[in-house]
Structure 1
Amino acid sequence: MNQKRKAAERRGRLGETAAALWLNLQGWSIVARRVRTHAGEVDLIARRGRTTLFVEVKTRATRAELDLAIDQHRLSRVAAAATMLAPRFARPGDDLRVDVILLAPWSLPRHIRNAWIG
């Protein structure tokens, strides 16, 4: 793995940790991290009450770059993975959501709730 890719991987892992802490502060419990399926990967899975979140985390160097960090293709992969993972992580009757958390240095996380409505 080249240096640029290693730095991006490290930044992504730090972002996932920051997003998990952000969700914890909001009362969510993290039940899984970096869960892979053949359809895609979910960065974080969290629960609070009767809701299970499947979260895509994007970390960028600047706040301006966050506007281009997520697109419908990426969200559709997360939603497909969430559909596959729901029987494993959600309880019967839970509301399921696909959320996105966008992170950049020196700014609060941008939490997009119900990012995928499919």
Structure 2
Amino acid sequence: MNRQQAEARRRQGERVAAWWLRLKGWRILERRVRTGVGEIDLVARKGNVVAFVEVKTRPTIEEAQGFLEPRTLRRVIAAAEALAPIYVAQGHDVRIDAVLCAPGRRPLHLENVWQGW
């Protein structure tokens, strides 16, 4: 797969993940937010919970989960810390979530993924 195909797959996965979260009652606040320490694929809110979401898209859900590595999560956590003052109000809870996507499969929303690392 070349770079353009990989980027198209990534963008498609982010669209599917945003759609899935919206169906579950989340409001998408922002997509592809870049900071000096990393990028957040989606920033979403549901009630008083703000989730900084990493999206992984691979041929299978299992492969996508395999790419959810500690190094990636550290980058997401650093970016979330940089962005929290913008998106998180007093009284809000903050999470790092992941949505795993694969063609022909229902996305898998994993909550609080950083706690296992």
Q: Name which of 39, 46, 49 aligns with 1:48.
A: 46
Q: Name which of 99, 102, 115 aligns with 1:101.
A: 99
In 2, the alpha carbon distance for the partners of 1:34 and 1:67 equals 20
> Counterpart amino acid of 1:19?
A
In 2, the alpha carbon distance for the partners of 1:30 and 1:42 equals 12
State the partner residue of 2:32.
34
In 2, the alpha carbon distance for the partners of 1:64 and 1:93 equals 35
Shift of 1:63: 3.2
Equivalent pairs counted in the alignment come to: 116
> Counterpart amino acid of 1:40?
G
| Contact in 1 for aligned 2:56/2:65 (Cα 8 Å) | no
In 2, the alpha carbon distance for the partners of 1:87 and 1:78 equals 15
Structure 2 unmatched ranges of 5 or more? none
Deviations 1:32-83 (CA, angstroms, capped at 9, x unpaired) = 0000111100000001110101000000022342231210110010011001
Structure 1 unmatched ranges of 5 or more? none
1:7 aligns with 2:5: yes
Q: TM-score, normalised by structure 2?
A: 0.94
In 2, the alpha carbon distance for the partners of 1:102 and 1:110 equals 5
In 2, the alpha carbon distance for the partners of 1:21 and 1:63 equals 17
Partner of 1:61, secondary structure, is coil
State the partner residue of 2:67.
69
Partner of 1:116, secondary structure, is helix
In 1, the alpha carbon distance for the partners of 2:60 and 2:51 equals 26
State the partner residue of 2:86.
88
> Counterpart amino acid of 2:18?
A
Q: TM-score, normalised by structure 1?
A: 0.93
In the TM superposition, structure 1's runs of 4+ consecutive aligned residues that sit over 3 Å from their partners are none
Shift of 1:111: 1.1
**Among the aligned pairs, what percent are the same residue?**
48
